[in-house]
Amino acid sequence: MGRAVMVGRGPTGTRLFFLSTVIILTARSSRAQQGDGCGLSVLGPCSGSLSSLGYPGTYPNHTVCEWEISVPQGRRLHFRFADLDIEENNCQVNYLRIYDGIGPHRTQIVKFCGLGLNVPDLILSSGNQVTVQFMSGTHQSGRGFSLAYSTTEHADLITCLDKGIHFTEAEFTRYCPAGCLTSVGEISGTIPHGYRDSSPVCLAAIHAGVVSNSVGGQISVVNSKGIPHYDGSLANNVSSTVGPLSNSLFTFKTSGCYGTLGLESGIVRDSQLFASSVWEWSDVIGKPSEWGPTGARLNGAGLPWASAHSNQQQWLQVDLKKEKRITGITTTGSSLLEYQFYVSAYRVLYSNDGQHWNIYREADATQDKIFKGNTNYLQEVRNNFIPPIEARYVRISPTQWHQRIALKFELLGCQFHQARPRIYHPARPPPPSVATDTPPMYGQTTHTPDIRNTTMPPCTINDMAFATMLVPVLVMILTTLILTTVCAWHWKNRKNSSEGAYDLSHWDRTDWWKSMKQFLPSKMAEGEESVRYSSSEVGRLRVRGNTPRLRAEPAEYAQPLVSGVMTSLGQRSTFKPEEGSDPGYTDPNLYDAPMATDIYHAYAQPLPASGAEYATPIMIDIASHLSGSSTLNQPTTVSSFMGRGPASLLTRTDSGQSGRSMYDTPKNTGQATPTKDLAYQVPQKPVE
């Protein structure tokens, strides 16, 4: 129970005025307004807006109004002024007062009187009940006032008159109060293109369907560069006009649950559309004309749906096959110039089983919601559902129309993922009745009501859709990490294997190089020492007891390696004999030279019959082989070794060998003597 006290004073023809007190009986709500000076006001459960009579025009003389506002226990109220302009010639009878509490025990918070007052700060109450009182006497000017209120939880409260140009942030969040549909102002633009910066933000939010006029709500706004042209439309009982170029525009952030549900695109089949009745008739030449429910698709070609009867028991129904989140509806009339029929007001019913129907109502409302429809046969009109409808079946029930009930529509919304149990499947509605009367061109037209509508708030984020997008991303990231780890491990193993294959830490690197360089071209081995000597010198060394000092010379071909350590060739190699003007072996440094029988041959071995063209020298270690001889203690210079002529070489031929093998003879090691067929590379002495 609430009690409101209103002190009123009406205008009279005399200078005298009297004070009348009216006792208000029991009220059904804890919010009330009384008096003859009350302007357009909406007192919502958590927010609202108030204004003086005639605002923004001059308020009348000798009027009074009181608003009693209550919010839930434990909460407080604060007020923000959009405009305050009260003539100050007599502040005893021209003022605005705000009180803490309701009734005779209320206490004054603040009193205002004056023209063009600027009140930037919020006025805060100390409790959950507030009384606002406005009184006027005789005056000549003054617009009165306009203010907004909300609970203190919404510190970012703005008024219904705040425009886009008043906010310079690229993005901002504010709280719009209830009742901004009643405020003065004009908007230009529409969603999704945006609204001109001269538009009131909260009024544009109602038009866009992001807040409700009866409740208000939080909005998220984005400022951006303006566009050359702004379209106009009618939505949620707010008319948007065409606007010119502006420096900037603003749009609203939403959850995106504004998509069409398939009537216009054809996803909804003809078998999913039903109607209470269908208007049919034949023209003068007998051609039939049927206005069935399948023609009720928005922007569809052909005839729309029209009922056979013009009464409030007619309806048009759609089955969405499963529950959807329905956030709005767009309607149009017949869209036919010769049949200008349309529905100007309607109810919306919804059901999950097709049998039990609920009539849509706004939040905290006790009466059915009546939506304002079309004002002509052609223009599209959008209405949003706040809160959204969650149902499978939707039915439109016209309450007022022009000439005849005719309608095309589209539902707005998105998928609804919350599973609900199905009790049973509904039976197919009975076939509509058919009327065959000739269409009257000028039937009775119902009165179009002045209806205040609400709009749709942003939908919540769909968790399942978010998870569907997140899971593939996580799988890709995990796969990339695994592949990177495997590749790094494989590369490291290859590197270790490569290093192990060529690591010579346990080898004698000097012997390895000397063993391998014989396979390289001679020019690459010029920097290394190689020895060329005659086998005759070896015998002479035994006689003289001197060890020759070897002289390094670059060889034309690969040379046998002789060093102080044991080396060996992994495979046989072939050496071409030197060529010169005299092939008679006058050069003491020839390879194929006779040697004594009691030492190993140092150079050539016999070639097999199918062997290579040249002989293969044998690498031995002279130092090791002759280490037991005492005659090799004193070195002999290379000059004495090289000074010997070919005659001395011939005299040192082994007598045990035939003249034909006097040079290239296999070494005598106790092995079988080579057969006669074996040929050695013996240079022939030229015939003189």
Read out DSSP for 550-574?
P-B---SS------SS----SS---
Q: Which residues contact 166 (CB under 8 A, 6 or more apart)?
A: none
Q: Rounded distance, CA 662 to CA 655, Å?
A: 9
CA triple 356-362-363, angle to 5 deg: 105
CA triple 210-213-219, angle to 5 deg: 35
For residues 334 and 326, is the Cβ–Cβ distance under 8 A?
no
For residues 514 and 563, is the Cβ–Cβ distance under 8 A?
yes
pLDDT at residue number 618: 55
For residues 377 and 342, is the Cβ–Cβ distance under 8 A?
yes
Helix ranges (H only) for 545-661 are: 622-625, 638-642, 646-651
Burial per residue of 608-642, b for 16 or more beta-carbon CB atoms within 10 angstroms, e otherwise = eeeeeebbbbbbbebeeebeeeeebeeebebeebb
- Which residues of the chain register pLDDT less than 70? 1-31, 417-465, 495-688
Q: Which residues contact 617 (CB under 8 A, 6 or more apart)?
A: 560, 573, 575, 591, 602, 603, 604, 605
If you write DSSP's letter for every residue of 120-159 in order, what string do you get? Answer: -SPEE-SSSEEEEEEEE-S-S---EEEEEEEETT-TTB--
Could you tell me the CA-to-CA distances from 452 to 24, 37, 258, 298, 376 in Å, in that order? 27, 22, 21, 24, 18
DSSP structural state of residue 293 = G
Q: Rounded distance, CA 10 to CA 36, Å?
A: 7
Q: Rounded distance, CA 384 to CA 234, Å?
A: 12
Range list of β-strands (E), 292-369: 305-306, 316-332, 342-351, 358-359
Could you tell me the CA-to-CA distances from 446 to 352, 368, 398 in Å, in that order? 32, 20, 11
Could you tell me the CA-to-CA distances from 142 to 12, 89, 96 in Å, in that order? 20, 11, 13
DSSP structural state of residue 316 = E
CB atoms within 10 A of CB 169: 9
CA 334 from chain center: how many Å?
42
Residue for token pair 């005639």: 54
Q: Rounded distance, CA 331 to CA 162, Å?
A: 31
Q: Rounded distance, CA 148 to CA 84, Å?
A: 12
Could you tell me the CA-to-CA distances from 438 to 202, 441, 546 in Å, in that order? 48, 9, 145
Q: Rounded distance, CA 644 to CA 536, Å?
A: 9
pLDDT at residue number 463: 59
CA 593 from chain center: how many Å?
88
Provide the residue count of the chain.
688
Q: Rounded distance, CA 24 to CA 322, Å?
A: 50
Burial per residue of 250-276, b for 16 or more beta-carbon CB atoms within 10 angstroms, e otherwise = bbbebeebbebbbbbeeebeeebbbbb
